[in-house]
A and B are shown apart, each in its own frame.
Chain A
Amino acid sequence: MKNISQRDAFWDRIYELAKEDEDIVLVVADMGAPALDKFRIYLSAQYIDVGIAEQQAVSLAAGLALSGKKPFVYAIAPFVALRCYEHTRVNLASMNLPVTLVGVGAGVSYDDSGPTHHAVDDLSVLRIFPNLRIHNITDSVMARALADISCKLDFPNYVRLDRKILPTIYDENTDFSVGLTVLVPSLDICIVATGNMVHRALEVSESLKKEGISAGVIDIYTLPINEDIFVDKVKDVAHIVTLEEHTLPGGLGSAVCEVLSDHQLLKPVKRIGMDFKTGYCYKYGGRDNIQLLYNLDKESIVKTIMYN
């Protein structure tokens, strides 16, 4: 399969499904994509543009869901996660309505746009809602699979897409209902990563291998964490490192620590993510440069793991 963006993989599949199911409805806040163009032309009755109005998008979707529709709300990640935050809390989470929020631009993948467009705190705030499940997408195979999964869920769901084309690591037959995958097994060190940082974790694991250090990789793509499976996979691991292109308070690292703590699995954990102690990220020059500045490049992470 040609490697395409997560966005195109997801919407192309939704388009195929929507052709067969007129209850699938897109609620779009003035967003473009080739698959969305097809919707506009061939499935115009299932394509609703609300303009740049994310609050209306979410509340409208709640009304559509109450009437039996399967709405997908699409906007840039920080806007679909944050601008309409309380609408999601009351109208989706508290009423437990099957609406899928789809945000594009995970982490700093809008690397030229500054902090307004960075989705670096959305996981922290959305994972606290009861009923809502987060799917942070790793590659385009997972994105496509999540289109199918999302149509069958009977609760709210946030699908978080990277804006960049990332390498494909998953096989098309993978069961993504588990919520996490052990990509590299190891009992010495386990790097627990999410989203684009899963690819970085795999690179780091390779580099550490050359240094004679065995570091495993687990991809957590679903929040809340599937606790039983996760605990089973890490209970005998000596050291855990968490890795995310996201702020540390409340992010993946916090979620991992909560699970370990609740299960009395007390072991060393190093959280690696974006440090916003000096404020939001007003840095440019490409995603690689931003990662370098926040010590999320391969060399920095290898050093952090080796010397911390």
Chain B
Amino acid sequence: MFTRRRSIQELKKKASEIRKTVLDMCCEARTGHVTSAFSSVEILVALYHGGILRYDPANPTWEGRDRFIMSKGQASVLLYPVLVDVGYFPKEDINGFCKAEGKFGVHLQHSVPGAEITSGSLGMGFGIATGIAMAAKLNSELHMVYALLGDAECYEGSIWEAAMFASHNRLNNLVAIVDRNYLGVTNFTENMLEMEPVEEKWRSFGWNAASINGHSFKEILHVLEGVRSRKSSKPLVVIARTVKGKGVSFMCDKPLWHGIPPTQEKDVHSAKEEVKYLWDQSLY
């Protein structure tokens, strides 16, 4: 199945809707990685609504589907509403987030239709992605594999084992998107353990690399369109520069605003107001 390509305006509207749902889910559950999700919203919306991924919600195990591997499993609270929005499972399931009767919690669970894997322990999903990409090569299947990594996830050594493997095996059906929000849990990456130059690191591991603004649909679509038919035999990494918590001014780009939603009444109110403002803006 080929998804309809939407206009940038429509994508912006969709991103605002998704931000709103994520915030509501996390405020209701009083847990969840709001800021980790908000830095990746445009990336996921571009993949699922922007005509990049091929998928069929009516047939989640369709062999020809592109695989989306959420290696930064803490952002599953973003993936679930996206999967609901495109029709993988009913909206009501969202209401069960982290609840006794619910079907999923904070970290990604492979039993959810469209989720593909269980993740939450960092540095593992990407290795799985290389296995799926390798199997596609062995079986002469033409689908793509997209993996979303957190930048701080790239401190895990297994990421680089997988990166070395992918380039050696010419896995040009694999695209890694690094959500470069410059933050771990407690600190900025460059204060914790210097990560730059990120692009050069990936290039030296044999990858094609591109850096973009990860909140610009124009830039995301530009770098991913045509990726299926590109000539290079190398896998592609997209370093998506983002802002952790994008959309809520008092939460964004702040260490320690990790893994938690606003809980004080006034914080919940202002976060929802800001997200609603984005939504209102996106209508015009």
Contacts and interface: CB of A to CB of B under 8 A. Distances in A.
Given A55-B161, A59-B124, A95-B118, 10 more contacts: A50-B161, A59-B127, A59-B130, A62-B127, A63-B129, A64-B134, A65-B131, A66-B131, A66-B132, A67-B139
A53 B135 contact: no
Contacts of B164: 51, 53
Interface of B: 110, 116-121, 123-124, 126-136, 138-139, 157-158, 161-162, 164-165, 169
Contacts of A283: none
A69 B134 CA distance: 10
B131 A61 contact: yes
Interface residues of A, number: 29
B134 A60 contact: yes
A64 B131 CA distance: 5
- Which of B116, B128, B132, B138 has most A Cβ within 10 Å? B128
19 contacts: A45-B138, A51-B164, A55-B127, A56-B130, A56-B161, A56-B162, A58-B127, A59-B131, A60-B131, A62-B131, A63-B127, A63-B130, A63-B131, A63-B134, A66-B135, A67-B131, A67-B135, A91-B117, A91-B128
B203 to A, nearest CB: 20
Contacts of B158: 55-56, 59, 87
Interface in A195-231: none
Nearest to B128: A63
A198 to B, nearest CB: 36
- Which of A53, A59, A90 has most B Cβ within 10 Å? A59
Given A59-B127, A60-B127, A91-B124, A53 B133 contact: no
A87 B130 contact: no
B134 A48 contact: yes
Given A25-B138, A53-B161, A60-B134, A66 B121 contact: no
A86 interface: yes
Contacts of B130: 56, 59-60, 63
Taking chain A's interface residues, is the majority helix, strand, or loop, or is none over half, making it mixed?
A: helix
Interface of A: 22, 25, 45-46, 48, 50-51, 53, 55-56, 58-69, 71, 86-87, 90-91, 94-95
Contacts of B110: 95
B165 A68 contact: no
Nearest to B139: A67
Nearest to A45: B138
Nearest to A62: B128
Contact of B138 (A69, A94, A95): A69
A91 B69 CA distance: 13
Contacts of B132: 63-64, 66-67
Nearest to A96: B110
Nearest to A27: B131
Contacts of A68: 135, 139
Given A55-B127, A59-B124, A87-B127, A66 B116 contact: yes
B147 to A, nearest CB: 10
A22 B157 CA distance: 31
A22 B131 CA distance: 16
